[in-house]
A = this chain, B = another copy of it.
Amino acid sequence: MWFSTSKAGAAAAVVALATGAQMALAETGLLSAQDSDPTVMGWMQGFPPPDERLITQPDANYFSFPKLRWSVCHLREFLPTEEISRGTGAPIALSYPSPARFADLARQIDALTFRPTNATEDMTWDQSLYANYTDGMLIMHKGQVVYERYFGCLREDGKHAIMSMTKSITGLLAEILVAEGVLDDSLTVKDIIPEIGQSAFATATVREVMDMTTGVQYSEDYSDPEADIWVYSRAASPLPKPADYDGPDGYWEYLQQVGPEGAHGEAFHYKTINSDMLGWVISRVTGKAVTELASERLWRPMGAEMDAYQTVDGKGVPFAGGGVTAGLRDLARLGQLMLNEGALNGKRVFPAAVAQTIAGGGDQSKFSGFPSIANGSYTSQWWVFHNDHGAYAARGVHGQTIYVDPTADMVLVRLASHPRAQNGFIDPTSLPAYQAVAEFLMAQN
Contacts and interface: CB of A to CB of B under 8 A. Distances in A.
B47 A77 contact: no
Interface in A39-57: 44, 47-48, 54-57
A44 B291 CA distance: 14
A83 B76 contact: yes
B6 A240 contact: yes
Interface in A232-291: 238-241, 243, 250, 252, 280, 283-284, 287, 289
- Interface residues of A, dominant DSSP: loop
Contact of A238 (B57, B287, B315): B57
A88 B87 contact: no
A88 B243 contact: no
Contacts of A56: 314-316
A312 B55 CA distance: 13
A240 B7 contact: yes
A311 to B, nearest CB: 10
Contacts of A54: 315
Interface in A70-92: 74, 76-83, 85, 87-91
Given A47-B283, A88-B156, A314 B81 contact: no
A325 to B, nearest CB: 10
A58 interface: yes
A81 B57 CA distance: 12
A241 B58 contact: yes
A126 interface: no
Contacts of A250: 48
A317 interface: yes
A307 interface: yes
A87 to B, nearest CB: 6
A224 interface: no
Interface string A1-18: 000011101100000000
Contact of A87 (B7, B55, B157, B284): B157
A239 B9 CA distance: 11
A98 B240 CA distance: 51
A345 B208 CA distance: 56
Contacts of A239: 239-240
Contacts of A88: 91, 156-157, 305-306, 327, 329
A314 B240 CA distance: 15
Contacts of A90: 89-91
Nearest to A75: B80
Contacts of A48: 250, 252, 315, 317
A8 to B, nearest CB: 10
Interface string A341-380: 0000000000000000000000000000000000000000
Contacts of A55: 316
Contacts of A283: 47
A76 B316 CA distance: 10
A360 to B, nearest CB: 30
A440 to B, nearest CB: 28
A80 B82 contact: no
B312 A77 contact: yes
A80 B77 contact: yes
A80 B10 CA distance: 11
Given A47-B284, A287-B47, A76 B87 contact: no
Nearest to A158: B85
A329 B88 CA distance: 10
Interface in A309-350: 309, 312, 314-317, 327, 329
Contacts of A156: 88
A327 to B, nearest CB: 8
Contacts of A9: 240
Given A7-B240, A48-B315, A85-B157, 16 more contacts: A10-B240, A47-B283, A47-B284, A47-B289, A48-B252, A48-B317, A55-B316, A56-B315, A57-B240, A76-B76, A76-B80, A76-B81, A77-B80, A77-B81, A80-B80, A87-B157
11 contacts: A5-B243, A47-B289, A55-B316, A56-B314, A57-B238, A76-B76, A77-B80, A80-B80, A90-B91, A306-B307, A307-B307
